[in-house]
Every structure is written in structure tokens, then in C-alpha cells.
Structure 1
Amino acid sequence: MHAPITLLADKSLASALTVGDLTARAGLDVLALLVLVGWLYRRRRPGPEMPLVLTALNLGLFAAMTAISAGKFPAGVGFGLFGILSLVRLRSAAFTVRDVAYAFIALVMALSNGLPQRETWMIIAIDAFLLVAVLLVDDPASHRPTRVTKVTLDRVYRNPEDIRADLTARLGTEPLAVEVDEIDYVRETTRVSARYAVEDSTRVFIPGQRETQDSSPHPAAPVGEGKSL
């Protein structure tokens, strides 16, 4: 009674997969990804790193499924791989979403290259496909590096434009975007997350430091640590 199931389990899921079929499927996936990320998602003013994350997840899963379905994949290997991935924790503040995207691509490449009984041309194509995609999406020249700084302001604002103007006056740099995190009417404070453009990502970022390097920070605007988004 279980003979057909056994035969299906032993048979490769991609035994009839050809180069043309694989190219057509990859092209369809890339086209759908361009519509989703390049058009639909960008209408929502996303963070500068989110297109890379979405691209890495989509193409990474496509490459992983292609490599897995191209030959036998024992259940024991799947459980072991799941256990290894569960040990990888990237929720620390030291990791940004860009780091998570690169880590995911690295894991997918390791999975594809390590699977036995796969065609060499397919593994090379998967590696080149992922590397070229990351090269095109994460081009530093295509976007300005930014930092998000959390600021607590000592008043409550009625107009969002007043928050932007006050941040510019206090910190000496106009923010690219401002998001209100919390309004405390009891203490009369407003907590905001302000995104600033930075030129040198290797140094500690303080808003306005290029204009006010020799001056002391404003006493009425306690600034938290900046972190990448």
C-alpha cells in the first residue's frame, strides 16, 4: 500500500528539470520580485535596507528549493539543518537587517554547495545568481547611508512640522524622516526616531557633528545611541 509513496520519496523532484525550465522559472521569480519590491513596496517609503532583505529572502529561498529538489534530500539531513539554523541568533543589536540578509545568503550558498549528487553547473549558476543579485541591489552608490537616532524632546507638539523644525534647531542637521514613538502628556515629552544621512559610517554618529564638532551638545535634547535600520 505504501509502495507508490516510497517511489515518490526516492525519486528526484526535479528529475525532469532542464536548463530552459530553470531559467524560465528564475526569470519569472525575478520579474515578480521587481514588481513587488521595485514598484509596490517602494510606494510605502521603505527603509533603505529593506529591498536588500526582501531580495535576499526571495532569491535565497528560490535557490535553496532548487538545490534541494534537484536530488535526494533525506529527512535526517533536514532535521539536522533545522537544528543548526536554530542555533544562529541574529537578534542582537550588533546585527543590522543588512547583516541578516548577508547571513541568509551565506547560509543558502553553503546549503547549495554542500548538497551531494547535484550538477556542478547548477551550483555554479545558483552562486553566481545570488552574488549578482546582491551586487545589484546593495550598491552603495545607489543610496545614501543613514542612521536612526532616538531623541526625547521636552515638550508636546501639535504639528509634525514643528518636530522637524525643533530637531533641526537643536541638533544642527535636518532629518530625512521623523517618526513619533511616544507622546507623554503627563511629563510633557515626545519620543521620536529621526533618520539622518551620514557620510562616514565607521565613526560614532551624532546628528550635527559635521557642523558643531567643537560645540557641546544641547542640554535639552538627550540623544540615545544611533542604530542602523
Structure 2
Amino acid sequence: MTVTALILAAVDLLAAVLLSAVYFRRHRRRDLVVAFLGVNVGVLAVAWVLGTAEVALGLGLGLFGVLSIIRLRSSEITQREVAYYFAALAIGLICGLPHTDIATPLLLVGLIVSVLAVADHPRLLARARHQTVHLDRAIADEGELRAELERLLGGEVTALTVQQLDLVDDTTLVDVRYRVGAVRSNVDSGLGSRLEATPAADREASFADLLGGTR
């Protein structure tokens, strides 16, 4: 085993631990931390044994296929966690294959960890939300459905997909993506401008009328 291989093994372990620490700090799932580290070290060991120029491409494709089958037979995970899985796999594969220089694998490993750390940062697209909502009314009109979801969620609906419209049981199942606070702030600003334009003697009555209209 060469010195370059030992250095890359140390880089792999450091990157895998760092990647798992980023994930656990933000999402607090210990079982997936174990999975990420196990996948990384396992791929590193297999790549060491089979890492020749002739089998490198087939090895990479085979490992991705095997892990895809494992995922189908395991508990459901989110797309975010899939990204961490494949990042751990890619790091192990990059560090396990033979390299003539050490700069390229170091650059690729650093790029993978950095991109995931930034892309999964809580402040990136912090107002974007995704929920599956089960309403106790059958709402066929999309405009009415959008208004009802914005009222319930307190945000601006950016996309919605009706998954089930049950006219017998009077229910609606909808997948909705929205931005929190957007509609609420617009309503508040609109309410303030309308009250400001109202004469002082009529503001109390107007305020009561507006509250009554929003219920």
C-alpha cells in the first residue's frame, strides 16, 4: 500500500466524519450517521481491493446499483438523505481508487462536502415549505383551494397538486409547496393601508368590518 493510498484513506475518513457531523447537527438522525459511515468505509475497502483502471467504471456503476437496491428494501428516506448517501459513496469511491496524484481527489472530496454543507444550510431557502394537507372539504376549484391553503398555512402557495378529490366523503388531499409569511405580510400591509385611508371617525367601524370579512 502506497503513501498516497494511506493519505487518501485518512482524507476519506475525515470527510465522511465531517459529512456525517453536518447531517446530524441539522437533522439529528443517529441511524443515518451510522449508515453514511458504513457505506463510505465499505465502498473504500471494496475500491481498494478492486480498484484497477480496467474495472473502475464497472465498479462504480455496480456499487451505485447495489445501494439503490438496498435503499428500496429499507425504510423510506427523503431526497436530502439520498444526497448524503451518494456523497458518502462517492467520497469512498474517489479515495479508494488508485491515483497518480493526490490533488485531484482532494479537490473532488472537498467539493462534495462543501456543496452539501452549503446546499443543506438552514438559511438557504428558509421560507420554503412542503406539506401534504388533508382537508375536510372537497374543493374542486383551484383558486378557492389555493386561498384556503394560504389561510390555513399562513403563507403564499407556490405550487399545489391535488392527489385525491373525494366527493363522497367530502375531503381533499393535496400536496402543497409554499413560502411562509408571504400572504400574511401582504394581508397586514393591505389592512394597514385601507385603515390609513379611512377617516378617523370611521376607523373603528371599518376595522370591525375588515375583521368580519376575513373570517
Q: TM-score, normalised by structure 2?
A: 0.46
Q: TM-score, normalised by structure 1?
A: 0.44
Q: Which has the higher contact order (CA 8 A, sep 6+)?
A: 1
**Structure number with higher helix proportion:** 2
